[in-house]
Structure 1
Amino acid sequence: MIPIKDIIPRRETPFVNYILILINTLVFLYEVSLPPDFLNRFFYIFGLVPARYTHPEWAYFAGLHMDNYWPFFTNMFLHGSWFHLISNMWTLFIFGDNVEDRLGHFKYLIFYILSGLAASFTHFIFNADSVVPAVGASGAIAGVMGAYFIMFPHSRIVTLIPIFFFPFFFEIPAVVFLGFWFFSQIISGTFTVIVNQNASGIAWWAHIGGFVFGMLFHKLFKKNNDYYRDYFPDELLYRYFR
């Protein structure tokens, strides 16, 4: 399922969301400018490698400092491929603007960062022995999706579903779309724990941790309704989303 757009109109320009997309894009453009060997080292230094903190001997051999905790933050601005970047930024573009509307610009930035940190720590807990760098904004974006899941239960997501190579478009309730996505992360994450490996290379538990953080803690960042601008006349249809 590929999300195309949601039906919720935003009230303000999502400056922070645009800036986050820009930063992620600029960092990736820097990544692709690096020679392969330098890029691999770049991922090990700024990506989240759990074994860096759980296996001192390996970390020393790999030239990684155990007392550097910045990777829990910096990993959320790195991406491994164009597809990885575009899919993450497209998802952030669809869901982030409405969440920023509800939280306000500064609180949304803090919420996004904390969601990413929650995702990083969750990944670390469930993959403590991994020597593979975890990179990507998807954990932080999962936090945004978790907040959207709770705040916009009546929203609908225009979704592209290819059937026998033919594209079909459906309006799917946001609670169904995001609920199915979250359930699939739990199933996949649980499977990796049972078999004790992650062949797909996807940080399932980072997604789960970010989503749960977004669901549980978004209310701490939500601004009072008095700070919302009024809807424009052509937006009256959407008042019940408030």
Structure 2
Amino acid sequence: MMSKVFWEFPLTASLVVFLFVFFFAAIFFIPDSFVANYFLSYPREWNPINWFLSSLMHGNFSHLISNLMYLFILGRAVEYKVGPSKWILFYGMALIVSALLDSIVRGIFMGDNTPVLGASGAISGLAAVAALLSPFTLRMGGVTFPFPMFLIAWGSVYTDITNVFEKDQIAHWAHLGGFFSVIITAYFLEEKDRKKLKNGFILNLVFFTLTVILFYFIEARYQ
């Protein structure tokens, strides 16, 4: 039963398994010099090969597990709503835009050449799509459950924006690039798909505004 639930959305599940296996394969079989040359994305070096390969590599086990957890939840929500081919489009575009924004901001404007790695930039793109198309539900085992998908997405954006200049070894600019890549990806979609994204954005905006107002009144009540 658990196996059927895991493989319910095969593209997401396959990438989760691949990244998990690749992490250990890289430790034992890929030389450190090869990792440094090809599996790290350096902001001042605009290299698409490194952008892609760096999304396969993770710094440590906790980094890997954190990304896989988000990928498993967000990826299946997007795969359910748009199917495998558009899933790949959203994920791939988020990967590219996240690397571009990180390179432009940190490499050109900040003069920072600290390399980044991990799939979190691309996963941030899935977070945006999940929030727009499935803000309140998650599909699991053939059943749609209430789930605050929008809170995961917007919580992540808030964390990245408020910590974007912190030296905390987290690629906040890449995360933001992945999240907002959905705006660019929308131009490659059909009109009906763009309309769904627009409606999702309006719904998120309304709910976000109501949430802010609610917190304002709660805070004012207890002052």
TM-score, scaled to structure 2? 0.70
Deviation, 1:215, is 5.8
Q: Residue 155 of structure 1 is aligned with which of 137, 146, 152?
A: 137
- Residue 13 of structure 2 is matched in structure 1 by 18
Counting aligned pairs with the same residue, the percent is 24
Deviation, 1:205, is 0.6
Deviation, 1:41, is 4.5
Specify which structure has the higher proportion of strand: 1
- Residue 83 of structure 2 is matched in structure 1 by 104
| Structure-2 change in CA distance of 1:93 and 1:222 (3 Å) | farther
Is the counterpart of residue 203 in structure 1 residue 171 in structure 2? yes
Asked if 1 retains the 8 angstrom alpha-carbon contact of 2:38 and 2:54, the reply is no
Q: Residue 97 of structure 2 is aligned with which of 93, 112, 118?
A: 118
- Residue 95 of structure 1 is matched in structure 2 by 74
Task: Compute the RMSD of aligned alpha carbons.
Answer: 2.8
Asked if 1 retains the 8 angstrom alpha-carbon contact of 2:136 and 2:147, the reply is no
For residues 128-207 of structure 1, the aligned pairs below 5 Å read: 128=107, 129-155=111-137, 173-189=148-164, 192=165, 198-207=166-175
Q: Distance in 1 between matches of 2:187 and 2:80?
A: 13
Amino acid at match of 1:43: A
Asked if 2 retains the 8 angstrom alpha-carbon contact of 1:145 and 1:214, the reply is no
- Secondary structure, in 3 states, of the residue corresponding to 1:109? helix
Asked if 2 retains the 8 angstrom alpha-carbon contact of 1:134 and 1:203, the reply is yes
Count the aligned residue pairs.
Answer: 178
- Residue 49 of structure 1 is matched in structure 2 by 42
Specify which structure has the higher proportion of helix: 2
- Secondary structure, in 3 states, of the residue corresponding to 2:55? helix
Asked if 2 retains the 8 angstrom alpha-carbon contact of 1:45 and 1:71, the reply is yes
Asked if 1 retains the 8 angstrom alpha-carbon contact of 2:54 and 2:117, the reply is yes
Q: Distance in 2 between matches of 1:69 and 1:182?
A: 25
Runs of 4+ in 1 over 6 A off after TM superposition: 222-225
Q: Distance in 1 between matches of 2:152 and 2:76?
A: 18
- Residue 50 of structure 2 is matched in structure 1 by 71
Asked if 1 retains the 8 angstrom alpha-carbon contact of 2:42 and 2:113, the reply is yes
Structure 2 gap ranges (5+): 139-145, 194-223
Asked if 2 retains the 8 angstrom alpha-carbon contact of 1:14 and 1:100, the reply is yes
- Residue 235 of structure 1 is matched in structure 2 by none
Asked if 1 retains the 8 angstrom alpha-carbon contact of 2:137 and 2:148, the reply is yes
